[in-house]
Structure 1
């Protein structure tokens, strides 16, 4: 392919959509498909790459706004929610919390936290949970356990409410992915330990009962997070009921439940991986001690 127009990009975008290519991948794929052997980036690269990717992102803004990094989650100040993309890091990297949360400076982050140490502490632990979840799952890719598919579905539900909460006015529809993130995370932890995934459908099994699932996880894989996991699970609306009727929750209550779901997802992974940034934050002075997401 030699020349290209906006119609070229539209045709390619339709093809990429049919192939299931994620939006954040499409502009570079378009440049590669258009330029072929002339595709080159970096120093001495082909400047046409930038022209194509810029035009593509102007046509499809989502292609530059949906980069998932290692995964996504949320941080919140009261009911003001910020979507967080877990940064891709290699080797031993120390990244300030404010930078990991996507702020340009610690001052900007501190202002967003309303210059309140308790609110800032909550964002620190939210960041730790996001990293423990995403990097812990990455570590478990080569494990022999069978929990990874469920954890991926749980992480997908976390991404769903992370994409919705920052801008939505109606929060009733967000309750379902919150509940699913909790249920799938707890079941994943159990399955990773050797349980058959089909066992949850048997008569007398835990099913959608989050309290029973949390109790079983605590019994089979004890962890310091157990008291908060139990508290949060007991506070979740009934998933089946939430599909048919509003839960009657305020936005603040839903945001707190979302942070709780994110915490449980991270905690379930911490029980099976060596990732535990949260433990380091919970030791010594500020931001410790970890506050409950529900208060």
Structure 2
């Protein structure tokens, strides 16, 4: 136990996440006892390794040991926030969002009764998948300004915070600011990637916090970007600055629509700068209907 505590101190000093220290602690601790070569996980792991792993798990809150996914998102069914996420995957595989949706079988059947809800669920699943992998591959095999990669990472952080607040927090209303900021950062990621200056991005008379101005500018520069649909979406959003101080809090349904709209905008930007485009690669998915 003391060896594992020392190993954990070292992991924190190195900046390792708790999920990383799940195994690195064990390796560092066993090194103190002269163990260098052994099977660390799976069939054939020696008893001392299994013992060290079980003791190491006592050091952490269980959820901190979860590796998680590429991106956490949300879907609104009626007025209930549901989790959707892009899982970590390697090679080729089949991702079944229907199985991952945290609704019971009765609720899934209820959702399936509505062609509108079902189409919206499909569209949001695609958006979360494309953005979830695409933000980390932003600019893949393209020559872009590196500022774009930094801004799309920041958009991912804000949108994941928005989804986590909606699906896990006791008060869902904190979702709005993170969703609005995530949208702004995603649009500016596309603009920065194309070389738009920081001065133009931050100038209130040019873009600033104006999502419609950012959308218009990106549509001018990026021919495949669905500027019309994005413009319709961001035009329904509350003002970013006013919403912090004076605007009334949106309802649950309005909050969910803002969050799902933000997820769409971020995914639409990301599709322009990555190879992640589920509809392009799977024509059987049909046309998008949400947001309309």
Tell me the TM-score normalised to structure 2 length.
0.82
Residue equivalent to 1:74: 74
**What is the rounded CA distance, in whole Å, between the counterparts of 1:110 and 1:13 in structure 2?**
43
Question: Deviation of residue 179 (structure 1)?
Answer: 0.5
Q: How many pairs were matched up? A: 283
Query: 1:177–1:17: structure 2 CA closer, same or farther, 3 Å change rule?
Result: farther
Question: Deviation of residue 166 (structure 1)?
Answer: 0.8
**Aligned partners of 1:210 and 1:233 also within 8 Å:** yes
**Aligned partners of 2:163 and 2:175 also within 8 Å:** no
Residue equivalent to 2:241: 240
**What is the rounded CA distance, in whole Å, between the counterparts of 1:83 and 1:274 in structure 2?**
25
Query: Does the alignment pair 1:33 with 2:28?
Result: yes
Q: Could you tell me which runs of 5 or more consecutive residues in structure 1 were left unpaired when the two chains were aligned.
A: none
**What is the rounded CA distance, in whole Å, between the counterparts of 2:78 and 2:51 in structure 1?**
41
Query: 1:18–1:218: structure 2 CA closer, same or farther, 3 Å change rule?
Result: same
**What is the rounded CA distance, in whole Å, between the counterparts of 2:209 and 2:251 in structure 1?**
23
Tell me the TM-score normalised to structure 1 length.
0.81
**What is the rounded CA distance, in whole Å, between the counterparts of 1:167 and 1:31 in structure 2?**
31
Q: Which moved more, 1:212-221 or 1:262-271?
A: 212-221
Query: 1:247–1:12: structure 2 CA closer, same or farther, 3 Å change rule?
Result: farther
**Aligned partners of 1:25 and 1:63 also within 8 Å:** no
The residue correspondences of 1:244-259 to structure 2 (distance < 5 A) are 244-245=245-246, 247-259=248-260
Question: Deviation of residue 15 (structure 1)?
Answer: 5.4
Query: 1:243–1:55: structure 2 CA closer, same or farther, 3 Å change rule?
Result: farther
**What is the rounded CA distance, in whole Å, between the counterparts of 2:18 and 2:160 in structure 1?**
15
Root-mean-square deviation over aligned CA pairs: 3.1
Residue equivalent to 1:83: 83
**Aligned partners of 1:125 and 1:278 also within 8 Å:** no
Query: 1:247–1:49: structure 2 CA closer, same or farther, 3 Å change rule?
Result: farther
Alignment counterpart, residue 128 of structure 2, candidates 111, 127, 130: 130
Q: Could you tell me which runs of 5 or more consecutive residues in structure 2 were left unpaired when the two chains were aligned.
A: none
